[in-house]
Chains A and B, each alone.
Chain A
Amino acid sequence: MNINLTLIGQVIAFFGFVWFCMKFVWPPIVNAMAEREKKIADGLAAADRASHDLELAQEKALERLKDAKHEAAGIVESANKRANQIIEEAKAAAQVEAERVKTSARAEIEQETNRAREALRSQVATLSLAGAEKVLGATIDRDAHAELVNKLAAEL
């Protein structure tokens, strides 16, 4: 229980350890802890931000989806309209074409008829002249009676 040099030794040791702790121990530990604290805080903030962003993105996606649906419906509708229109147009064009074909066919028939009639007529004249020639047994003056025969042919 004596007070002696141990006292001085302990004072020296005290300052030695305190100095050592202040110089080499405390700063790196505290810095690392502060850094970690900051990192965690940053991480939490980032997580918050991310969840908020996610919410926004979901909202936006929903909106986009709605828009897209709307647009798709519009496109389908207009496509239907256009299809109907095309059908109508095709119908009309077909009718017109049919009419045209019919008309041209009719004209051709008429033409053929006329041509046949003309041919028949010319042949009638010749035939009747030949018949008359035979019946009369005499030569008929072709020029004198041509007018008469032609008149007959025209009546046919």
Chain B
Amino acid sequence: MAGENQTVSEYIVHHLTNLTWGKLPEGYERYDGSVVGEGGAWVMAHGGQEASDMGFTAIHVDSMVWSVGLGVIFSWLFLRLARQANAGVPSGLSNFLEMIVEFVGNTVRDTFHGRNPLIAPLSLTIFVWIFLMNLMDLVPVDLVPWTLMQLGVEYHKIVPSTDPNITFGLSIGVLILILFYSIKVKGFGFAKELALNPFNHWLFIPVNLFMEIVGLLAKPFSLALRLFGNMYAGEMIFILIAALFSAGVAWMLPAGLLQIGWAIFHILVITLQAFIFMVLTIVYLSMAHEDH
């Protein structure tokens, strides 16, 4: 919960600030008046201003740790399933995980018509990984940050998918795959597709190039921003509802009910967002494999 001397807006801003570790430029005056020495310094940012002043040479430790940690959990879960997978009768957790595998496999089979051994595991990774990252949204907003604050970690965001770096990281990965397979499957045809669509005349090549490249870039942008927007908005509502608790004892019950209601609704949102990201990835890669 927010400290007594903290305003609601400070509480919200605090919750939306990542734990950032980065390089401050030489001569930078820090929050406590000290000045960064020669060659700059790699430090843990104190507050949003310092974090943004670090520019590109910074890393969101919390996003990275949770993202990779959840990825490891995903890999471990399914590796365990893969290890014990046999043609016998499945039980318990393997049943559930196999259900997911089958669901993803069916979706891929329905949407992707080429033959590429990467698509199905890629989809499974995206679906489960993003789902796990979104699932962190359902952890009470103050639980982890407050606990870590007691341990001396000032800022913490536990939902990696509310960090645009993470969602753009995923969608850039997808973009790289789209480009790779477009060039691999179509070769020179890919360049022709970019240059001669939609107006098939050499005079229109610059226009075509512009339109096609915008279209191509719109794919990762829409992927990343959709996921980020949904998760960020959801997280924001959780934080706002949590802020209601500080408005007085009378607000406890309605705020609690709102929290439960939004959390239940959010179960749908997080699953849906993971599913949409997966399906669109499959669709984009399927388009990359299609020769016109």
Contact = CB atoms under 8 A, between A and B. Distances in A.
Contacts of B59: 4-6, 9
A6 B21 CA distance: 10
Contacts, number: 135
A36 B164 CA distance: 42
A31 to B, nearest CB: 8
Nearest to B162: A1
Interface string B39-59: 000000000000110111111
B58 A4 contact: yes
A16 B86 CA distance: 26
B125 A1 contact: no
B67 interface: yes
B121 A9 contact: no
Contact of A4 (B57, B117, B118): B57
B176 to A, nearest CB: 8
B126 to A, nearest CB: 8
Contact of A26 (B120, B168, B176): B120
Interface in A84-126: none
B124 A26 contact: yes
Interface of A is mostly: helix
Interface residues of B, number: 52
A22 B117 contact: yes
Interface residues of A, number: 34
Nearest to B56: A4
A20 to B, nearest CB: 5
A30 interface: yes
A98 to B, nearest CB: 87
Contact of A7 (B22, B82, B121, B169): B169
Interface of A: 1-11, 13-18, 20-22, 24-33, 35-36, 38-39
14 contacts: A2-B54, A6-B63, A6-B64, A8-B169, A13-B64, A14-B169, A18-B122, A22-B117, A22-B118, A28-B82, A29-B98, A31-B85, A36-B87, A36-B88
Sorted from nearest, which 3 A-B pairs have the closest CB atoms?
A10-B169, A32-B85, A6-B165
